[in-house]
Each structure stands twice: as structure tokens, then as C-alpha cells.
Chain A
Amino acid sequence: MDLTRTYDVLIVGGGNAALCAAITARRAGASVLLLEGAPKDFRGGNSRHTRNLRCMHDHPADVLTDSYSESEYWEDLLKVTGGETNEQLARMTIRHSAHCREWMVRHGVRFQPSLGGTLHLSRTNAFFLGGGKFLVNAYYRTAEKLGVDIEYNSEVVELKIKDNTFTSAVFARKGFTHEVHAKTLIAAAGGFQSNIAWLKEAWGEAANNFIIRGTPYDKGNILRFLMDQGVKSVGDPTQCHAVAIDARAPNFDGGIVTRVDCVSLGIVVNRHALRFYDEGEDFWPKRYAIWGRLVAGQPDQIGYSIIDAKAMGTFMPPVFPPIEATSLKELAAKLNLDPDTLSQTVAKFNAAIKPGNFNHNVLDDCSTAGLTPPKSHWARPLDTPPFYAYPLRPGITFTYLGVKVNERAQIIMQDDKPSHNMFAAGEIMAGNILGKGYLAGFGMTIGTIFGRIAGEEAVKHVNA
């Protein structure tokens, strides 16, 4: 790194979007500095926790089966966002997603068929061999080889912007601050989900009980600096993608393994030992993302997923062993729930189940009658010991608030005009396209496509 020079491109962040931008810009001949706030061992933000990206394709293509057309992809997006998207940016991203795998492989990424237990994604999502950390490692290796200057442990603490134009950034390292000048800025610093204080603005004290599934380094200060200096924002500032995860997970960085996938196979009760939502409303992959918010709405933000011996072994095994008991009373004691209430809740549930043919692969006819809340599918009596429980807490994946961009990844200012030399890619701008809800694998698609666009456009600006 050479702080006396003016770099062509400064990239803030060190995840997928930042790396795609860095490689693209460097390949186009620019001098590039990438500042990653995390230490080297934790580089790669949330991207190191990912497993796949969603790709459009007209025919079976390497690891992807069948086909996934632009219109189907778009329909899926429309459904999950309820229209909170930008059709032009969304369609552009979808179209690019058909070709990005080749670029990824050229820069070291490898793919594998969909993992055991994820067959429902084999058509739409291409899985990374070794997961996101392998991808991040490969990109760092490529970027280094190409001559990108990379600095770890270097958190950007100030952005200097004048007349909608970026001039320099200040970053902190080993207790000292340094200023670096660059002709263009690419902001790829992720969301603000690991900033509990910020989450509290929308969620109040409940946020103290939230578990952050990914990196502790995505605190959103870059997003804040940009918004404070006249950049237009998009996406709901109060919403985040929250799933129900094992309450025993570490506060940060527990990643994919902490999820609990047996909600639809049993019942979920709160700390009063009462059910609070239809556990069998729809297929689990379509419902897991609402359970974070549901649990967040319960007292002390905790829930307990309870199954019996019949369900064991028929869902993805969670990382922490279940809490096990031979009777419901014993289970209640272990969970600190009122034993009588739990027994009543289960008895009421068991009694309300209508006869049916259990089949977890379809929306079966095993439902309850006259129960509130109902269980619409896969309702089987909890009657076969041992009983098992997994405690649940809201696990935050990412936030929706971001900076507004155009199709050239240029950041849009309050006056609706694009900045000439500021670009954004990845989670920090994903809210443009994904204002609400989630499509598995779409975060990495957005980061890959916009990272590359931002890299290209930044170099164009430098050369203009």
C-alpha cells in the first residue's frame, strides 16, 4: 500500500462484492486498494458463511438441473418482495446471473451439486465447493496475484465527500489513522446487522436477545456516513432478515450450522408453554424466514421447538444436541417451562388432530380442527418418547436498508442525480432489488453482478 499516491479505485469492504469489484477493476488496468475492516482470519464478511448463488439458466448447466427462466426468476422475486423491488435493476441482475459462473470459475471458484438435504435448490442454486470461505479465499488469491493492494484490520472511519464527489477516506489500523486518496470509491461494506445499537432503534430492547448469524464486522458505518452526506437510501430501515436459530448459538458468526429445521415436524411454544403460530403453514424452506420475527415477538424473545421420536432423523441435523426427556413433564423441567401448561398444550394439540396421511414432501392432510393457532399440515400427535426440544432465538442474517444505485452501480444522491465517482455493490445496495423477503442465493448473485459492474464503471470513470 502506498499512501502517498492517489489510487484509481478504493474499495471499502472485503466480502464477495468487494472482491468481484477489485478483480474486475484491476483486470481493467486500474490501481486498486481494498480495505477490509476485519483481521485476515475473519476476512470475507458474511460472504464466508454462504453456500450458493441463484442463477438463471435455460438448460441444465454444470451443477444446475433443468431450467430456470428469467420470467420464473422474476416472478419468484416479485412474490417474496411483494413488489418492493426495482424491475429494471432486478431483470438486469437476473440476466447477468446466467453468465457469471464462468467468470467465477476463471477466478478460482468451484461448484458442486446441491448438498445433501437441499435437493429443492438443485434447480435454481449453484453451490460453491467448500462454501463461501473457499470462494473468498480463491478471490483473495486471484486479487493478490493480479496486484490489488489489500489491507486487513483496516476499518474505514470517515469518508470525505464534497459536491457529491468522493475525495478521500480515513481508516484506522493498530490504533493509528491514515488518510488515503482515490479517484473513485466502491462501497461494499455489507449491511448493519451486527450493530446492535442500530438494531435497537427499530426493535427496542428486544434486540439484546438477537443473535447475529454472520460477521461481527458489518456495523454499517459506511452506510451511515453515506446517508449522512446526502446519499439517498432505499429499503425498510426497520426490517431485517431473521430466522429462528438455536438459542445456544454464539452471539456472532455461528453461521449456517445453528439453524433448526424441525419446526414443521412438531410444535413451537413460548416461555409460557403456549403455541403461538401455525407451524405447518407451508413448506419449511418457504417459512423459515418468518420464524425469526415470530420468536422476536414472544416474551424474552425465546421459543422451543418440540418434537417426538417419530421426527428424529428426518430433518437436517442441528449442530447442538437436542434437549431430551422421556416424558413431557421432565422436558418442561429441563426447559424451565411450567409442566402442567406444557402437558395441557400438547394434550390439546394432540386431541385436535384430524386423521390423515402424513407426508412431509407434500402439503399433506394432517391438520388440526378447532385449535388456535391451527397447524395446517404435518400435524402428528406428540406421543412417542423420547421427546426432544431445541430452544430458539431470532437469528439476524442481514438488514434491508441500503444506498440507492442505478444500473451502473452509481450511488444516487438526495437530488436523484448519480454521483460520478461513488459506486456501491452487495448487501449495502441489495435493498434496491430486495426491499423485503428473501430468495435463497440472491444476496451472492446481487453482490457478484453489482461488484463486477461497479468495478467496470469505476475504471470507465477513471479513464474518461
Chain B
Amino acid sequence: MSTLESIPRELVLEGERVMRLCNACRYCEGFCAVFPAMERRINFTEKDLNYLANLCHNCTECYYACQFAPPQVFELNFPKTLAEIRLETYRKYAWPGAFAALFRRNGLATGVVSVAGLFVILAIMLAGRTPRALLAAHSDAEGAFYAVMSHQAMVATFATVALLICGVFAIGFARFWRDTGVSNAQPLVASDLLQAISDTLGLKHLDGTDNGCAYPDELPSNTRRVFHHLTFYGFGLCLAATAVGTVFHYGLGWEGPPPIPDFARGGAGVVRSLPLLLGSLGGIGLLLGPAGLLWLKSRRNSLLVDPRQNGMDAGFLVSLMLTSLSGFLLTVFRETPALSALVVVHLGVVLGLFVTMPYGKFVHGIYRFGALLRNAKEQRTMQKLGAE
């Protein structure tokens, strides 16, 4: 792992300083998993910091509760220091390393890549269809959007991209896991995985006290958790819609766009519409969730914000919303001459989203999961240090 470039030295020193402060205090122990994990250590190397920073959900509860927060002399801003370290870990573990710089200008990058995505999609479409066919309206009976871009071309493009980014994520995850794995050599067991999955799916540590976390300001609130769930499960439902549609297409031979559900016919009238239903529900989540998260971000206490991450955060949320919005427009107007334009926009945005995912905010989920997994293992195998 010697090839990975360390995070900046000053940040490591500051990280070590804040950890020493908190470890000597421990008042925030009950808020989240970071403090108990910290208490399993006495010294804090870069590896420990990289792990602990990704275990933090940035609920900011521990900032408002801290008697050493600025302007007190120690100027302890635990959430912000961890956020700064997190950004550096995204860069550190990114593969290929040359793209890591994208984390610095991610908002811009997302925009540029999405526009490029549009052209790529347009090119693929023009390669397969005449311009005249692209400008015409097509009814669902004619296969609607497959009339402007073949199913094969679509699958080939997105399957390639999906495989590539899964590979990139896997490399990032492996790098994180190996780099932070000095604390103990015990093997993982199934229960660790189950716990990490349940912590992830429930956003366990975002509940702070029993009535929510201190986000976007000091008042305890559950809104961030709700909006994050909408985003996360919205994204999941959209992926599920795609997966189900693919199974219908290749497994059952149900080609073409899914029909509008006919609830009067009961189950039979709905089954074939499943991809549409899942996609619509997911799409609603992907409009409301990111919109809510952006709104919360705009109201955050500026003392807690690492401004270098604004572009990355907003870039990701906006592309999620655009994906959903263009998807809805496409569904509604697919039988009009606007079809081609909408296909270009929707698929372009999706392509842009996918391609930038490994170099943007999305990766927080990969490393957060890794940190939760390590935490589950440590809870089982390691002791808190510093008895009386």
C-alpha cells in the first residue's frame, strides 16, 4: 500500500490533536460509534484517522455539546476536522489515482461529464438510426424509445459503464480496507457483516439523541435522516426498476416500455408495469430526498462546513434530481417528437452520474460501509483502553 499518497501532514496532526482531546474527555461517547471506536486506541496514526473519519456521519451533535468548541482556546471542531480528513481519504483511495483530483473540483466535473454524456449518447443513437427516425414521434406500439436507440446499444453502453464503476468501487473499498486495517488481525465473521448492513440501511448513527441529530443547526431533528432515506431508497428503487426490466426483457421476453398499470385488472394488470412503478416511486424519492438535503445544506452553520466539499455535494445531489426529472419527462412525453431529445438528456445525465460516481460524493457510502464493517468487527474483538 506504499503507493497510496498520504493525506496532508497538517491534517494528520490536527486529527491526532482532536482525537487526544476527545479521548481524554469522552463526554460524547453516547452519540455515535466514533467515540467508542476512538476509546479502543491510545495513539492515532493516519490509518486510525482515516477509519474514524469515515465512521462519522457528520451529524454535528458533538460540536454543539463540546465545551472546547471555538472560540474556546482548544478550538476543537471535531465534525469539521473529520470531514476534511474524509475528503482526503476519498482522494487517497480513488482509482485510478490520476482522477483523484476530480474530488477537488467535483461540481464542475460532474457538469462537464454530464454534458459529455449527452454527446456520447447522441453519437450512439446516430450510429444506429437515421436522423429522420430520431426526429419522428413513435408510439409505444412501435417500441417508443427503442425506435431511437436500440435496446442492445443501451444495454451494451450501460452494462459496460456499470461493470467499470463497480470495479473502481471494489478497488477503492479494498484500498480503504487494507489501509485502515492495522488495528487487529482478527477475521471478519458473518455477524459483523449483518450488523454493518443493518447499521447502514437504518442510518443507525444519525439518530444522535433519541429525537434526532443536530443538523442543520443545534436543534435536534430527524429531517436529514428522512431526506437521506428518501434519496438512498429512491436510488435503490430506480436500480431495482432497471434490474426487473432487464429480467422481463431477457427472461420473460416482455420487451418494450412497461405499460401504464391497470389496477382494475388486479395483479395481472400490474405485474408488467412493475419497472414503471418502481422507477416512479424511486424517482419521487430522488426528487424529494436530494432537494431536502440541499435545502438543509443551505441552512447549515457555516462554522461546520468544509467549503471545498460544497461543489461535490451539490453536484451529486443535482445530478440525482436531474436523472429523476428527465426520467419522468421521458415517460410522459415518450410518444411525442421530443422523444429523441429527452432520451439524449436522460441517458446523458445518467451516464454522467455513473461516470462521476467513483469520484464524487457517492463514495462516502462505500467507505462509510467499510468503516461500519470494521467497527462491527472491533466491537466484537477489541477492548476500550484506559481503565481507571
Chain A residues packing against B (C-beta within 8 Å): 41-42, 48-49, 51, 110, 112-113, 115-120, 128-134, 137, 141, 250, 253-259, 261, 284-285, 312-321, 360
Contact = CB atoms under 8 A, between A and B. Distances in A.
Given A112-B29, A116-B39, A117-B388, A319 B24 contact: yes
B68 A116 contact: no
Contacts of B5: none
A137 B218 contact: yes
A110 B218 contact: no
A49 B388 contact: no
Contacts of B384: 116-117
Contacts, number: 109
A119 B85 CA distance: 32
Interface string B268-307: 0000000000000000000000000000000000000000
Given A48-B67, A317-B20, A253 B72 contact: yes
Contacts of B386: 116-117, 313-317
A110 B210 contact: yes
Interface string B36-54: 1001001000000000000
A201 to B, nearest CB: 27
A263 to B, nearest CB: 12
B253 interface: no
B73 A257 contact: no
Given A285-B388, A313-B385, A314-B387, A132 B26 contact: no
Nearest to A112: B30
Contact of A255 (B25, B26, B61, B387): B25
Given A117-B386, A131-B25, A132-B67, A313 B42 contact: yes
B65 interface: yes
B66 interface: yes
Given A49-B67, A130-B65, A313-B42, A257 B21 contact: yes
A256 B62 CA distance: 16
A320 B29 CA distance: 20
Nearest to B30: A112
Contacts of B21: 257, 319
Nearest to B16: A321
A312 B387 contact: no
Contacts of A259: 24
Contact of B20 (A253, A255, A315, A319): A319
Interface in B207-258: 209-210, 218-219
Interface of B: 20-21, 23-31, 36, 39, 42, 61-62, 64-68, 71-74, 209-210, 218-219, 384-388
A253 B73 contact: yes
A18 B388 CA distance: 33
Nearest to B36: A116
Given A312-B42, A316-B388, A319-B24, A42 B72 contact: yes
A341 to B, nearest CB: 30
A115 B24 CA distance: 11
A115 B66 contact: no
Given A317-B20, A317-B24, A133 B67 contact: yes
B39 A133 contact: no
A312 B43 CA distance: 11
A255 B22 CA distance: 12
A284 B67 contact: no
A134 B388 contact: no
30 contacts: A42-B71, A42-B72, A48-B67, A112-B29, A113-B30, A115-B29, A116-B39, A116-B386, A119-B387, A128-B27, A130-B27, A130-B30, A130-B61, A130-B65, A131-B67, A132-B27, A134-B27, A137-B64, A250-B73, A255-B67, A255-B68, A256-B24, A256-B25, A257-B24, A313-B42, A316-B386, A317-B23, A317-B42, A321-B20, A360-B387
A130 B24 contact: no
A257 B42 contact: no
Given A118-B388, A133-B66, A316-B388, 19 more contacts: A42-B72, A115-B26, A117-B26, A117-B386, A129-B31, A130-B28, A130-B31, A131-B27, A134-B65, A137-B64, A250-B74, A255-B67, A257-B68, A313-B386, A317-B20, A317-B42, A319-B21, A319-B24, A320-B20
B42 A116 contact: no
A319 B39 CA distance: 13
Contacts of A113: 30
A131 B20 contact: no
Contacts of A253: 67, 72-73
Given A253-B72, A312-B42, A284 B64 contact: no
A359 to B, nearest CB: 12
Nearest to B209: A110
Contacts of A257: 21, 24-25, 68
Contacts of B29: 112, 115-116
Contacts of B28: 130-131
A320 B16 CA distance: 11
Contacts of A313: 42, 385-386
Contacts of B61: 130
A107 to B, nearest CB: 14
A448 B209 CA distance: 22
A302 to B, nearest CB: 21
A315 B71 CA distance: 30
